[in-house]
Amino acid sequence: MVTKTTTRKTAATKKTKATTTKKRTTKPTRSTATKSTKTATKKSTSARKYSPASQKEVAKEMRKFKKGTAKSGKAETPVKSREQAIAIGLSKARAKGAKVPKKRTSK
């Protein structure tokens, strides 16, 4: 009787293996060759958004922020966030006449 139970188990496992070996349809993967050709065909005619002068101004303000000496407004309250320091640097660059995109309007 022991042999009968083992043969039944093997027959059951053969059936499950047969059902799991169906063909799997997979999407074709992109090769690295297609990626490099896509990047090569992109247009590189876009103009620079921020001028080097504005980048220097933001860099100065970031150094002040990291040092802890950056102040904002007439009351000269200390700058608390990195984003605030960048905004102050861009504002100073605009005042000097550097090429900087317009301010974002609030919704």
Q: Is residue 38 part of a domain?
A: no
Confidence of residue 77 (pLDDT cuts 50, 70, 90): very high
Q: Is residue 43 part of a domain?
A: no
pLDDT at site 107: 74
End-to-end CA distance of the chain: 80
Domain assignment of residue 85, given as a range: 52-96
pTM comes to 0.53
Closest CA to 90 of 63, 62, 71, 68: 62
Q: What is the mean pLDDT of residues 47-70?
A: 93
71 forms beta bridges with 78
pLDDT at site 17: 57
The pLDDT tens digits of the residues spanning 27-58 come to: 666 655 555 555 556 666 778 889 999 999 99
The pLDDT tens digits of the residues spanning 7-29 come to: 555 655 555 555 556 666 666 66
Rounded to an integer, what distance in angstroms lies between the CA atom of residue 12 and that of residue 27?
Answer: 32
Q: Is residue 26 part of a domain?
A: no
What total number of domains does the chain contain? 1
Q: Is residue 31 part of a domain?
A: no
Q: Is residue 85 part of a domain?
A: yes
